[in-house]
Amino acid sequence: MIKNVKESLVELVMGDAILELLEADAPVSHEALIAQLVRNLEQEQRESRREAILAAINEVQESIKLIDRTGEKGTRWNQQAVKKSKLLQMNIASQDVGDKKH
């Protein structure tokens, strides 16, 4: 159960970062996502969210390594696909729940 809560918080902070990129009309890429997560980490005061942001950064970095190993190119995501993703839907649905700082 605890693991699911931690995983959910990681998904939430990653979704927050993606949503912030989309709202800023910024390109959505692995690198941009890491940069946004780092900015969020610098501003976050709650330890649970800081840990989740660090875990999210690690997940994105691992994803980049996997892409590099498999030889796939193009780490940019289609913004329309991202907007419709389950991750973002969960984030949007949970905006009124949890410990969001907004």
Q: How confident is the model at residue 23 (pLDDT cuts 50, 70, 90)?
A: very high
What value does the CA radius of gyration of the chain take, rounded to a whole number of Å? Answer: 13
Domain coordinates of the chain in residue numbers?
2-92
The DSSP code for 97 is S
Higher pLDDT pick, 82 / 8: 8
pLDDT for residue 101 is more than 50: no
Q: Residues 45-87: pLDDT tens digits?
A: 999 999 999 999 999 999 888 877 776 555 455 555 554 554 5
- What are all long-range contacts of 1-6, with beta carbons under 8 Å and residues at least 24 apart? 6/51, 6/52, 6/55
